[in-house]
């Protein structure tokens, strides 16, 4: 009897002393939650994305099976041991500091706890300042530039039905941003303007500037001349689409631009259009507004424009009716993709509550 039991006892003892193996055909499919560094390689060598750059994040990965050879009853046997995946630690580049960050504007606090380093809110009818935060700081304004582009085009009375063709010169060599308007696509000037204001189309904006009498240099000169005429002393333009960080302005100046642009019905209509379909070379291109507040029935927006490049952060200018009065809002260097819209909502709520307090 001992002779027959001994092999089985030996096998059991070996399995108890070893790390519990798992047969490949018996592996569990249960996922394990582990901490992993951003950029580490997950299953099948794919890079794992973390929620925030530079920080650890919880992700779900299947346990990794490690092949192992053990001795059972004096014989070599291949088993698979399930181990938790810890990920390969990689150096993650820190987020790019904006010009506002380098100037320390991000350390400015305000009673509304806005995520924007710069904010400026006025009553359009009376020019009364309702809220301000670093309103005179001169910063890159990204695609807010396109609002001046539209104003110059409209005031020049250029033919809106004239066909403009996207050329190689219109391709972004500054930030290498993408565009669905291929080189060679021809569209009316009105459509180019519509896409530039509503969907912040960079190639459309470049084409508008290039097709101005005298070309892009004359167009940029006209933009700067208009800024000077509006009293925008802190403003300078170098291109028609805002991809260069050398397009700069202050929130106080941009409020003047919003008021002037809002007097042009075409700019108001195009900038607040929720969506637009374009036929280009046999293809239908569907565009949506970069500001989803235009779809919100609780908002009455008369004019708006968003903007973003890494040096500028997230930007937003907007004219909207709040409690029956036209209000101009400017937010620059906002942190987070939706934070500028959140700041606009905070300001709106604050103004509504302020009016309610005066009525009590």
Q: What is the domain-level CATH number for residue 141?
A: 3.40.710.10
Identify whether residues 235 and 288 lie together within a single domain: yes
- Per-residue pLDDT band at 92 (split at 50, 70, 90): very low
126 is catalytic: no
Please report whether residue 123 resides in a domain. yes
Q: Which of the residues 116, 117, 143, 250 is marked catalytic?
A: 143
Tell me the mean pLDDT in the region 241-258: 98
Please report whether residue 67 resides in a domain. yes
Tell me the mean pLDDT in the region 302-315: 97
Identify whether residues 140 and 221 lie together within a single domain: yes
Q: Which residues are registered as beta bridge partners of 141?
A: none
- When divided into structural domains, the chain yields a total of 2
pLDDT of 30 reads: 39
Cα gap 130→93, rounded to integer Å:
39
pLDDT of 336 reads: 87
- Per-residue pLDDT band at 150 (split at 50, 70, 90): very high
Identify whether residues 103 and 65 lie together within a single domain: no
Identify whether residues 127 and 211 lie together within a single domain: yes
Which of 198, 197, 208, 200 shows the shortest CA–CA distance to 167?
208
Per-residue buried b or exposed e for 143-158, using 16+ beta carbons within 10 Å of the residue's own CB: bbbbbbbbbbbbeeeb
pLDDT per residue as tens digits for the range 3-58: 544 554 555 444 444 444 333 333 334 333 333 344 444 434 443 344 433 443 44
Identify whether residues 180 and 31 lie together within a single domain: no
Residue that has been written with the tokens 């047969």 in this structure: 23
Q: Which of the residues 200, 250, 271, 334 is marked catalytic?
A: 200
Residue that has been written with the tokens 């920080």 in this structure: 55
Please report whether residue 12 resides in a domain. no
Mean pLDDT of the chain: 83
* Joined tokens for residue 110: 């305000």
- Is pLDDT at 309 greater than 80 in this prediction? yes
- Per-residue pLDDT band at 77 (split at 50, 70, 90): low
Identify whether residues 260 and 302 lie together within a single domain: yes
Roughly how many angstroms between the first and final C-alpha of the chain, as a whole number? 97
- Is pLDDT at 256 greater than 80 in this prediction? yes
Which of 153, 21, 162, 4 shows the shortest CA–CA distance to 79?
21
Contact 306, 290 (CB under 8 A): yes
- Is pLDDT at 88 greater than 80 in this prediction? no
Which of 207, 143, 213, 199 shows the shortest CA–CA distance to 175?
143
pLDDT of 136 reads: 98
pLDDT of 40 reads: 41
Identify whether residues 105 and 88 lie together within a single domain: no
Identify whether residues 219 and 309 lie together within a single domain: yes
pLDDT of 63 reads: 52
Which of 342, 254, 329, 348 shows the shortest CA–CA distance to 292?
342
Q: Which of the residues 146, 250, 305, 334 is marked catalytic?
A: 146
Residue that has been written with the tokens 């040096």 in this structure: 311
Identify whether residues 135 and 53 lie together within a single domain: no
Residue that has been written with the tokens 């029956």 in this structure: 324
Please report whether residue 4 resides in a domain. no
Q: Which of 94, 126, 144 corresponds to the end of one domain? A: 94
* Joined tokens for residue 76: 């070599």
271 is catalytic: no
Please report whether residue 185 resides in a domain. yes
Identify whether residues 35 and 170 lie together within a single domain: no
Residue 258 burial class via C-beta count within 10 angstroms: exposed 0-12, middle 13-18, buried 19 and up:
buried
Q: Which of 94, 120, 147 corresponds to the end of one domain? A: 94
Identify whether residues 77 and 138 lie together within a single domain: no
Cα gap 297→342, rounded to integer Å:
16
56 is catalytic: no
Please report whether residue 122 resides in a domain. yes
Please report whether residue 11 resides in a domain. no
Which of 228, 231, 223 shows the shortest CA–CA distance to 252?
231
Please report whether residue 9 resides in a domain. no
Which of 338, 298, 290 shows the shortest CA–CA distance to 321?
298
Task: Give the range of the structural domain holding residue 86, as residue numbers without chain letter.
Answer: 21-94
């Amino acid at each position: 009897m001992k002779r027959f039991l001994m092999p089985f006892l030996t096998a059991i003892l070996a399995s108890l002393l070893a790390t519990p193996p798992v047969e490949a055909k018996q592996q569990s499919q249960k996922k394990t939650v582990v901490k992993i560094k951003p950029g580490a390689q997950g299953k099948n060598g794919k890079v794992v994305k973390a929620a925030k750059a530079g920080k650890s994040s919880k992700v779900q990965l299947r346990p990794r099976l490690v092949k192992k050879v053990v001795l059972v009853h004096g014989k070599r046997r291949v088993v698979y041991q399930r181990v938790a995946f810890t990920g390969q630690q990689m150096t993650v580049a820190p987020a790019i500091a904006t010009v506002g960050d380098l100037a320390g504007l991000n350390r400015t606090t305000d009673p509304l706890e806005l995520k924007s380093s710069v904010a400026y809110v006025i009553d359009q009818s009376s020019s009364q300042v309702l809220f301000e935060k670093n309103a005179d700081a001169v910063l890159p304004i990204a695609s807010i530039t396109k609002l001046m582009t539209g104003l110059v085009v409209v005031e020049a009375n250029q033919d809106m039905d004239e066909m403009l063709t996207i050329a190689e010169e219109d391709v972004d060599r500054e930030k290498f941003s993408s565009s669905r308007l291929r080189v060679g696509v021809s569209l009316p000037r009105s459509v180019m303007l519509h896409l530039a204001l509503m969907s912040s189309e960079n190639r459309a904006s470049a084409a508008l500037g290039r097709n101005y009498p005298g070309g892009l240099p004359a167009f940029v000169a006209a933009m700067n001349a208009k800024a000077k005429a509006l009293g925008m002393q802190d403003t300078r333009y170098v291109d028609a689409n805002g991809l260069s960080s050398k397009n700069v302005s202050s929130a106080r100046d941009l409020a003047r631009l919003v008021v002037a642009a809002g007097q042009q019905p075409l700019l108001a209509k195009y900038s607040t259009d929720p969506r637009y379909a374009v036929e280009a070379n046999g293809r239908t291109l569907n565009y949506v507004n970069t500001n989803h507040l235009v779809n919100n029935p609780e908002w009455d927006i008369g004019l708006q424009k968003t903007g973003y490049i890494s040096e500028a952060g997230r930007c937003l200018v907007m004219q909207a009716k709040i409690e029956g009065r036209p209000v101009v809002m400017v937010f620059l260097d906002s942190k987070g993709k939706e934070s500028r819209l959140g700041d606009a909502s905070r300001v709106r709520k604050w103004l509504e509550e302020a009016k309610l307090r005066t009525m009590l």
